Amino acid sequence: MSLAQLTALNTITKPLEGKVAVVTGGSRGIGATIAKVLAKNGAYVAINYQTSIDRAEAVVKEIEDQGGISFAIKSDVSKPDDVKSLMEEVKNRYGKIDILINNAGITRDRTFRKLSNEEWSEVIDVNLSSVFYTTSEVINHMLEQGYGRIINISSIIGQVGGFGQSNYAASKAGIIGLTKSLALETAKNGITVNAVCPGFIETEMVGEMPENVLENIISKIPMKRLGQTDEIAEAVLFLIQANYITGQSINVNGGLYM
């Protein structure tokens, strides 16, 4: 079915009607919620997953059950060839890409002196180099169409550092620098590039932290609670609809870092 035919099926006008979005690491956590919120707002959403096809298909089903349009696509975003195929498949299916959400991320926490080369490289590859690979595959296309929204999921850890997280902090701080530089280069061409810096959000990633560490963190959050995935998705949706905001890092952290 062509994009025009798919659009005709959706009778109620929604803010992202006719837009095509790619969400990396969209099978669970923050990525899954972003995918669902974008679909609910009318976007056609390609949900990238690395391993868990069942969970990615479950997100697609949830979107379709609510009248949205979506499909799941396997790709390791730390591998340039995989990313090339991912973006080609999305363009083949939906004809274009308007919105790129770079959400995939991992942690391999270790104090600096114990951090191995592999743990360093793996986190930099998945969290930061992936943003270069995915964006490189869509940027010319977005420039040609004179429209693009790129939103990179960074972290409060990229702003304040984290004990045992030099690899993760470096990757997330790197995302902020990349975001600002690319925003400068594309600002006059209808493309905005922004980052969202979540604080501590209730997902499986945070669930892996020891309970006492988590309790200690929550006690320091001015709002005294973890954030929810839909609170990150709201910021993403806002940035997609904003026309005059670029190169920014929006903090969604309950006041933990101001």
Binding site for ligand NAD (CB under 6 A): 24-25, 27-31, 48, 50, 76-78, 103-106, 126, 153, 155, 198, 200-201, 203-206
Would you call 1 helix, strand, or coil by DSSP? coil
- Paired with 100 in beta bridges are 22, 150
What is the C-alpha separation between 81 and 243, in angstroms, rounded?
Answer: 32
Could you tell me the two tokens for 9?
């099926």
What is the C-alpha separation between 168 and 161, in angstroms, rounded?
Answer: 9
Which residue, 42 or 172, has its beta carbon nearer to ligand NAD?
Answer: 172
Supply the minimum distance, in Å, between the C-beta of residue 227 and ligand NAD: 7
Q: Strands across the sheet with 191-198, in order?
A: 69-74, 44-49, 20-23, 99-102, 148-153, 191-198, 249-252
Supply the minimum distance, in Å, between the C-beta of residue 85 and ligand NAD: 13
Based on the number of CB atoms within 10 Å of its own CB, is 141 exposed (0-12), middle (13-18) or buried (19 or more)? middle
Catalytic annotation on 133?
Answer: no
Q: Where are the alpha helices (DSSP H) in the chain?
A: 3-9, 29-40, 53-65, 80-94, 117-124, 130-145, 157-160, 166-186, 204-207, 211-220, 229-241
29-40 and 229-241 helices, crossing angle to 10°: 50
What is the C-alpha separation between 5 and 138, in angstroms, rounded?
Answer: 24
Which residue, 26 or 42, has its beta carbon nearer to ligand NAD?
Answer: 26
| Residue for token pair 């298909």 | 57
Which residue, 18 or 162, has its beta carbon nearer to ligand NAD?
Answer: 162
Which residue, 27 or 135, has its beta carbon nearer to ligand NAD?
Answer: 27
Supply the minimum distance, in Å, between the C-beta of residue 119 and ligand NAD: 14
Which residue, 102 or 192, has its beta carbon nearer to ligand NAD?
Answer: 102
Catalytic residue of the set 94, 168, 244, 257: 168
Would you call 199 helix, strand, or coil by DSSP? coil
Supply the minimum distance, in Å, between the C-beta of residue 45 and ligand NAD: 14
Supply the minimum distance, in Å, between the C-beta of residue 242 and ligand NAD: 20
- Active-site residues, by number, are 168
